[in-house]
Amino acid sequence: MKHASLPLCGEFTVGDVDKRIFGSFIEHLGRAVYGGIYEPGHPAADEAGFRTDVLDAVRELQVPIVRYPGGNFVSGYNWEDGVGPVEKRPKKLELAWGVTEPNLFGTNEFMAWCKKAGTDCMMAVNLGLRGAEEARNLVEYCNHPSGSYYSDLRIAHGCREPHNIKLWCLGNEMDGDWQIGHKTAYEYGRAAAEAAKVMRWTDPSIELVLCGSSNGHTATFGDWETETLSLAYDKIDYVSLHQYYDNKTDDTPSFLAKNMAMDDFIRTVVAICDYMQGKRHSKKKIHLSFDEWNVWYHSNNDPVERWSFAPHQLEDVYNFEDALLVGLMLITLLRHADRVKIACLAQLVNVIAPIMTETGGGMFRQTIFYPYLHASLYGRGTVLQTPITCQKHDTKEFTDVPDLDGVAVLSADKTELTVFAVNRDFEADYALELRLLDLDGFTPVEHLELAGFNLKAANGFAASPVRPTAAPLPETDGKTATARLRPLSWNVIRFRKTAP
């Protein structure tokens, strides 16, 4: 048994959690929409064609916001193709993913789905092949009450009330040469600034996300943020980050340290934003939108038939070690609650997703569903400084990797305290001493763990063995509670204030 210690003080905080960091993403890609959230004729479909089994799972996750409609898809998308009478909507070649898009589902269907799922929409506009004109028209269509061409068009399409979408992405991954309408930093910075200007003139209440780098290792990383921010700083509110990790080399110790690279990525983008703020002597602070993150590699070589409709695409089946890294990435996002205000687990259904469906059939919860669920349910409130003292180890890719990683969140009403922790050690149990310095009257009420599985164990339609179980409650003397963290485990240790 190894020993670790974590002093927790309610006064020493990192920042308040913006619930939008538990967001997700639905792109017109593979079976995310068709056969995922929308499948008319499915036995579980409602009158709108939405799968109610999927809606139940999304509501269980309490997803606060869902990014839509892409992703790479948005850079070739004409939003007008997806509204109005369905029989008149065009069937188009979708170039981002090489498939056919029938436009049976579009903006109004998505907004109706959001309402049923109890979530908000984070809408992306096309700054690949299109620009400011089409973007401001979409804002008018969605948010203007009535009395203008596009707002009246929405009403004619059956949506009397405006959708009131507050959060908008200015394109997607515009730094990447795979992107339809890929741009240089100068081209994108100017396009984003002009689109932002007229979108905000159309609805001053909206918030805008500038595309940052597609990951932390692109050739243009850093320069991209600096140049685009210098062109659009005053017009935007957030900069985006995207990052996916893989274990292609089957080096699990390094894989489980990859959230340390995510930490560095966030710190660097924060530094660039603050540098730009200082340089401009601006009062405005730019925050971060980590609007695509996940593990992604299992499905990379799966063949897709060109121009097919809703093929099985990017359907990663996640295993236990993926769930551990997803938990670690959630810990990293929470740790940066002061600057990361939005984050989207990419994606939500079927496409690199926590929820998997069979077209015409059932559904199952992937391994990664559970850390996402726990963080969304118990990770709201104020993040406390979480200085864990434990042993460290080296991996092939990282040095000084703490055996334990974790974060503590105090609920807004200060009656619940949750510690999320991963034990990266392959063999040792850890006794984690949680020293509740000024947190009087808190007693442990639950310790959930995901532990004891083969690293490659996965869930499926037939059986879902990888699921959380209740661990013994930490032993406590009222001041210190000692939890046992099993080797290679995700842990959610919950306290409730039971005495003054």
Answer yes or no: 173 catalytic.
yes
Query: Which among 67-75, 117-125, 337-345, 357-365 is the span making contact with ligand AHR, rule CB under 6 A?
Result: 67-75
Min dist. Cβ of residue 154 to ligand AHR (A): 26
Query: Which string of x and - marks every residue 153-172 that binds ligand AHR (by CB under 6 A)?
Result: -------------------x
For 6-69, the DSSP string reads EEE-TTSEEEEPPGGGGEEE--SSTTSTBTTTB-TTSTTB-TTSBBHHHHHHHHHHT--EEEES
Q: Which of 200, 159, 172, 152 is nearest to 69 (CA)?
A: 172
Tokens for 9, please give them.
């003080």
Smallest distance, ligand AHR to C-beta of residue 41, A? 27
Q: In whole angstroms, what is the distance from residue 11 CA to residue 437 CA?
A: 10
Residue among 94, 109, 194, 292 flagged as catalytic: 292
Residue with Cβ nearer ligand AHR (39 or 175): 175
In the complex, the smallest distance separating the C-beta of residue 347 from ligand AHR, rounded to whole angstroms, is: 6
- CA separation for the pair 142, 302 (Å, rounded): 37
Torsion angle in degrees (nearest 10) through CA of 360, 363, 366, 370: 150
Q: What angle do CA 57, 59, 60 make, to 5 degrees?
A: 60
For ligand AHR, give the closer residue by CB, 42 or 242: 242
* Torsional class of 183: left (φ above 0), alpha (ψ -120 to 50), beta (otherwise): beta
Q: Which residue is nearest to ligand AHR (CB)?
A: 71
72 in contact with ligand AHR (CB under 6 A): yes
Q: Where are the beta strands (DSSP E) in 158-211?
A: 167-170, 207-210
Question: Which residue is associated with the tokens 């850079």?
Answer: 75
Looking only at the bridges linking them, the beta strands covering 167-170 and 120-125 are parallel
Q: Are 51 and 44 in contact (CB under 8 A)?
A: yes
- Answer whether 347's CB lies under 8 Å from 29's CB: yes
Radius of gyration of the chain (CA): 23
Among 109, 173, 194, 225, the active-site one is 173
Alpha-carbon gap, residue 245 to 374, rounded angstroms: 21
Query: Would you say 72 or 137 has its CB closer to ligand AHR?
Result: 72
Query: Judged by CB under 6 A, does residue 292 bind ligand AHR?
Result: yes
d(CA 458, CA 320): 6
Q: Is 291 in the site for ligand AHR (CB under 6 A)?
A: no
- CA distances to 250, 317, 417 from 298, in Å: 12, 7, 35
Residue 436, beta-bridge partner list = 8
- C-beta of residue 20 within 8 angstroms of C-beta of residue 65: yes
Least distance CB 355 / ligand AHR (angstroms): 15
Q: How far is the CB of 27 from ligand AHR (least distance, A)?
A: 5
**The one among 24, 319, 347, 376 contacting ligand AHR by CB under 6 A:** 347
Smallest separation, CB 432 to ligand AHR (Å): 35
Least Å distance between CB 257 and ligand AHR?
A: 23
- Specify the stretch interacting with ligand AHR by CB under 6 A; choose among 51-59, 64-72, 136-144, 380-388: 64-72
Q: What region does 260 belong to: left with phi over 0, alpha with psi -120 to 50, or beta?
A: alpha
Which of 347, 489 has the CB closer to ligand AHR?
Answer: 347
β-strand partners of 407: 420
Site string (9-28) toward ligand AHR, x via CB under 6 A: ------------------x-
30 in contact with ligand AHR (CB under 6 A): no
Q: Using the rule CB under 6 A, is 346 a contact of ligand AHR? A: yes
Q: Which is nearer to ligand AHR, 97 or 320 (CB)?
A: 97
Binding letters toward ligand AHR, positions 425-464, x by CB under 6 A:
----------------------------------------
- Say if residues 192 and 211 touch (Cβ distance below 8 Å): yes
Q: Does 213 bind ligand AHR (CB under 6 A)?
A: no
Task: Check binding of 70 to ligand AHR (CB under 6 A).
Answer: yes
Report DSSP state, residue 37: T
Joined together, the tokens standing for residue 170 give: 């200015």
Query: Which residues, 6+ apart, have CB-to-CB distance to 193 below 8 Å?
Result: 231, 232, 235
Rounded to a whole number of angstroms, the minimum distance from the CB of residue 186 to ligand AHR is 21
Tell me the per-residue interface mask from 221 to 250 with ligand AHR, x by CB under 6 A, - otherwise.
Answer: ------------------------------
The answer to whether 315 and 350 are in contact (CB under 8 A) is yes
Q: CB under 6 A: which stretch of 69-77, 185-193, 264-272, 372-380 binds ligand AHR?
A: 69-77
Contact flag: residue 71 with ligand AHR (CB under 6 A): yes
Total residues interacting with ligand AHR, rule: CB under 6 A: 9
**Chain centroid offset of residue 384 CA:** 21
Q: Among residues 18, 173, 237, 263, which is the contact residue for ligand AHR, using CB under 6 A? A: 173
Closest approach of Cβ 300 to ligand AHR, in Å? 11
Contacts with ligand AHR by CB under 6 A lie at 27, 70-72, 172-173, 292, 346-347
Active site residues: 173, 292
